[in-house]
């Protein structure tokens, strides 16, 4: 842990900054700002007894450890002058430019909140931090550096204050540092917080670490020599660091019931090399020489963590049978691991931070996206802060899409939460979920590393009220609630907006760039709409498609497929199924037997989810009581396709899959998903397909059964 025995000077700051800031005028600006800061805080002292200017100076020095740019360092030096010295934002702007002034103002806004109750104030404070961060991440990085120095000098405060500040640091600021990937600051904040929150535990662990230090250092050094020799023999240039686990991370493991003596990854080292190729070669060499512990190998290079962290991890039996946790990564990955979001700015091309602003790096982090989106949902500050605290900052699981995209969700999330996390539209059209190849109920609790596929049907009537009891995240619940409070028109507008956005993404067009003044007028004229909402409405209710709108501007690239005609909206937009005696009711086609028009069907009144329509032969009906109603297919509805499932039994044959897909395509049948079950000398394809009606399906089945190697095709009921 760093201590501040020696008082830093401006020369220390400039020396550290000059290791990555090369422009002489920027270094001079830092000196000027420091002089200004010192004169402003003249005569002020901190509770620790130091002259006040020493606090902003140390804050700025901490900022250089994460390669903050010149403006951020200047703002770090000035971060308390508006609040404590009566300086105005305008004055700062005149002296040092708008960027510095805005950053200082941003930091000031966060701290300056007075509310009636402490709880309210706290909530408002958290919200400011969180929202401030999504506006310009540099504001929060200054706040983190400020807090870190305050934590280092926390001994000067009363015990009451110490505990309060430490709790807040551990609850909000350390997790934020973690999500920004700024490991250095996160880890020191955690250790310092623990020291004030649970001093006994903290010093107990620190003592134990101290007592075993000599022994551990020797083993680690021997292991470093041994690994280093191995790499030299293989001509790999490398750097190896012994690594000490933070006290807080040990505390977390003890809390989970592990004994100090069993914490087998106390001994740790890190190997740094030049390229990814070498990382993978080294893991092979290490595993060949030292026996690895099963299941402890993690490949965060191929599967980076959500905060951008990349590395290979393994635990092996090292020298004298001691267990070692070994991390292998490139120098660049190491930079990202230590400095997170900050390293992206400065490490590669010494990019000017002002250009980065809020758009590139941060936008890539799901973390920011989640916060920004959450902030757009209408909810109280308290709800907002609680959901950020509980659902974004803490206790998360990682799940994958079938394509391997990784998503971070709160523990306890269900497929419904996942669907809404991807997009509201996915949530609203969700009809089922498949986790690791098996169909799961919607209340299934997602587990770490699950691969989740959401089945959607664009004709789905929307979520059921029951989902409110199943969903875990505030985001999903809010959106489900909104769905029910919103009128049909608003829903269409939203749907239309989502569709055009999707279309523009597909064509790699920027929204603002596409809807510039000129294009917008042209579109309004041609599509005969009055404003954007009107445009969205017409896309949402199916009058024309997003692709059509794009084609109005990009006519040349328009393909035949994109040309969508104005289709007549039927006078009474009823569902696919008519329920006798009832006019407006939500109807779902049961996904156990997947009825299609032409099937004999029967309705079942569910609890709170409208009417579920089954095939008359569905075995699930046997368990249902007398809540049946009679239903029939709507003869006017002919355009939709319906999903249903078949098993295709084949003799082993190489090209069977390809031919089945071709057959489907020529029969105008869409395959939604297909699973292959290989038996001894037989393959069974479990296929979900979209068909118009029973005739369409039966013709397809007949066609397939005419193929020599296909034995039979059976519709299935799950």
- Just list the catalytic residues: 83-84
Q: Quick one: three-class SS letters along 58-104?
A: HHHHHHHHCCCCHHHHHHHHHCCHHHHHCCCHHHHHHHHCHHHHHHH
| Residue 84 to residue 101: CA distance in whole angstroms | 15
Q: Taking the alpha carbons of 407, 412, 415, 418 in that order, is the dihedral positive or negative?
A: negative
Q: Applying CB under 5 A, which part among 62-70, 72-80, 196-204, 583-591 lies near Mn ion?
A: 72-80
Contact status, residue 442 vs residue 416, Cβ threshold 8 Å = yes
Q: Which is closer to Mn ion, CB of 56 or CB of 432?
A: 56
Q: Applying CB under 5 A, which part among 77-85, 297-305, 456-464, 535-543 lies near Mn ion?
A: 77-85
Contact status, residue 331 vs residue 274, Cβ threshold 8 Å = yes
| Residue 68 to residue 322: CA distance in whole angstroms | 40
Helix (H) or strand (E) holding 83: helix 81-85
CB of 59 to Mn ion, least distance (A): 6
**Residue pointed to by tokens 């969205």:** 536
| Residue 653 to residue 14: CA distance in whole angstroms | 72
Q: Which of residues 78-137 bind Mn ion (CB under 5 A)?
A: 80
Q: Which of residues 145-204 bind Mn ion (CB under 5 A)?
A: 146
Q: Which is closer to Mn ion, CB of 80 or CB of 325?
A: 80
Q: Which is closer to Mn ion, CB of 176 or CB of 577?
A: 176
CB of 134 to Mn ion, least distance (A): 22
CB of 149 to Mn ion, least distance (A): 7
Chain centroid, CA 226 distance in Å: 40
Total residues at the site for Mn ion (CB under 5 A)?
A: 2
**Residue pointed to by tokens 């068909």:** 691
Helix (H) or strand (E) holding 166: helix 159-168
| Residue 100 to residue 89: CA distance in whole angstroms | 9
Q: Which is closer to Mn ion, CB of 52 or CB of 324?
A: 52
CB of 147 to Mn ion, least distance (A): 8
Q: Which is closer to Mn ion, CB of 42 or CB of 682?
A: 42
Task: For 614, list phi and psi in degrees, rounded to 5.
Answer: -115, 160
For 370, the token pair is 């989640």
CB of 458 to Mn ion, least distance (A): 53
Q: How far apart are the first and last CA of the chain?
A: 60
CB of 63 to Mn ion, least distance (A): 12
How many residues are given for the chain? 718
Q: Which of residues 652-671 bind Mn ion (CB under 5 A)?
A: none
Q: Which is closer to Mn ion, CB of 109 or CB of 369?
A: 109
CB of 540 to Mn ion, least distance (A): 49
For 426, the token pair is 């996915």
CB of 80 to Mn ion, least distance (A): 5
β-strand 323-330 against 268-273: which pairing, if any?
parallel
CB of 84 to Mn ion, least distance (A): 8
Neighbours of 172 (CB within 10 A): 20
| Residue 77 to residue 57: CA distance in whole angstroms | 6
| Residue 388 to residue 358: CA distance in whole angstroms | 19
What is the contact mask toward Mn ion in residues 203 to 222, using x (rule: CB under 5 A)?
A: --------------------
- What b-and-e string marks burial along 191-207, b requiring 16 or more CB atoms within 10 Å of the CB? bbbbbbeeeebbeebbe
What is the contact mask toward Mn ion in residues 131 to 150, using x (rule: CB under 5 A)?
A: ---------------x----
CA angle 96, 99, 100 (to 5 degrees): 50
Q: Applying CB under 5 A, which part among 73-81, 366-374, 628-636, 702-710 lies near Mn ion?
A: 73-81
Contact status, residue 44 vs residue 84, Cβ threshold 8 Å = yes
Q: Which is closer to Mn ion, CB of 146 or CB of 450?
A: 146
Closest residue to Mn ion, judged by C-beta, is 146
Binding site for Mn ion (CB under 5 A): 80, 146
């Amino acid at each position: 842990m760093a201590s501040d025995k020696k008082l830093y000077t401006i020369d220390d700051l400039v020396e550290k900054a000059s290791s990555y800031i090369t422009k002489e005028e920027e270094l001079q600006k830092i000196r000027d700002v420091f002089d200004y800061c010192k004169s402003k805080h003249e005569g002020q002292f901190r509770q620790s007894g130091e002259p006040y200017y020493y606090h902003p100076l140390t804050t700025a020095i901490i900022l250089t450890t994460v390669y903050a740019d010149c403006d951020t360092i200047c703002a770090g030096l000035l971060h308390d002058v508006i609040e404590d010295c009566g300086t105005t934002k305008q004055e700062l702007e005149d002296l040092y430019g708008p960027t510095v002034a805005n950053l200082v103002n941003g930091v000031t806004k966060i701290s300056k909140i007075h509310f009636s109750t402490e709880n309210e104030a706290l909530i408002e404070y958290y919200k400011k931090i969180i929202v401030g961060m999504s506006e310009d991440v540099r504001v929060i990085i200054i706040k983190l550096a400020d807090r870190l120095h305050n934590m280092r000098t926390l001994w000067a405060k009363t015990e009451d204050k110490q505990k309060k500040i430490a709790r807040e640091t551990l609850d909000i600021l350390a997790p934020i540092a973690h999500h920004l990937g700024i490991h250095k600051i996160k880890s020191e904040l955690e250790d310092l917080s623990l020291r004030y929150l649970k001093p006994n535990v903290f010093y107990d662990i620190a003592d134990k670490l101290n007592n075993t230090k000599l022994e551990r250092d020797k083993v680690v050094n021997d292991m470093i020599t041994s690994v280093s020799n191995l790499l030299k023999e293989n001509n790999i240039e490398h750097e190896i660091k012994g690594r000490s686990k933070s006290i807080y991370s040990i505390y977390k493991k003890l809390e989970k019931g592990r004994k100090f003596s069993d914490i087998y990854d106390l001994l740790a080292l890190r190997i740094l090399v030049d390229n990814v190729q070498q990382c993978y070669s080294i893991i092979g060499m290490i595993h060949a020489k030292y026996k690895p512990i099963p299941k402890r190998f993690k490949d965060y290079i191929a599967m980076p963590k959500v905060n951008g962290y990349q590395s290979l991890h393994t635990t092996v039996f090292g020298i004298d049978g001691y267990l070692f946790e070994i991390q292998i990564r490139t120098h660049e990955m190491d930079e990202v691991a230590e400095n997170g979001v900050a390293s992206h700015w400065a490490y590669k091309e010494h990019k000017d931070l002002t250009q980065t602003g809020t758009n590139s790096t941060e936008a890539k982090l799901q973390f920011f996206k989640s916060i920004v989106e959450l902030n757009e949902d209408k909810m109280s500050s308290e709800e907002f802060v609680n959901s950020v605290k509980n659902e974004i900052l803490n206790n998360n699981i990682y799940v994958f899409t079938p394509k391997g995209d990784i998503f971070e969700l709160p523990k306890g999330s269900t497929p419904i939460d996942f669907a809404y996390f991807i997009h509201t539209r996915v949530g609203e059209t969700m009809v089922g979920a498949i986790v690791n190849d098996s169909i799961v109920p919607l209340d299934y609790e997602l587990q770490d590393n699950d691969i989740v596929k959401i089945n959607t049907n664009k004709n789905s009537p929307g979520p059921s009220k029951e989902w409110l009891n199943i969903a875990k995240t505030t985001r999903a619940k809010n959106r489900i609630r909104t769905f029910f409070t919103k009128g049909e028109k608003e829903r269409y507008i939203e749907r239309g907006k989502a569709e055009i956005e999707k279309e523009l993404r597909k064509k790699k067009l920027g929204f603002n760039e596409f809807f510039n003044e000129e294009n917008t007028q042209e579109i309004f004229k041609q599509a005969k709409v009055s404003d954007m909402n009107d445009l969205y409405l017409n896309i949402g209710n199916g009058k024309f498609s997003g692709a059509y709108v794009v084609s109005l501007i990009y006519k040349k690239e328009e393909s035949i497929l994109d040309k969508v005609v104005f289709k007549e909206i039927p006078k009474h937009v009823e569902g696919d199924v008519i329920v006798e005696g009832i006019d407006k009711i939500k109807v779902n086609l049961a996904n156990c037997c997947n009825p299609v028009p032409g099937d004999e069907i029967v309705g079942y009144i569910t609890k709170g989810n409208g009417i579920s329509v089954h095939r008359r032969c569905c075995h699930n009906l046997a368990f249902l009581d007398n809540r049946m109603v009679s239903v029939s297919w709507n003869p006017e509805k002919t355009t939709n396709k319906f999903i249903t499932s078949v098993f295709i039994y084949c003799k082993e044959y190489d090209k069977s899959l390809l031919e089945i897909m071709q057959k489907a395509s020529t029969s105008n049948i869409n395959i939604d998903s297909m699973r292959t079950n290989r038996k001894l000398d037989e393959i069974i394809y479990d296929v979900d397909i979209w068909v118009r009606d029973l005739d369409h399906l039966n013709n397809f089945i007949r066609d397939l059964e005419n193929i020599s190697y296909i034995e039979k095709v059976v519709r299935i009921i799950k």
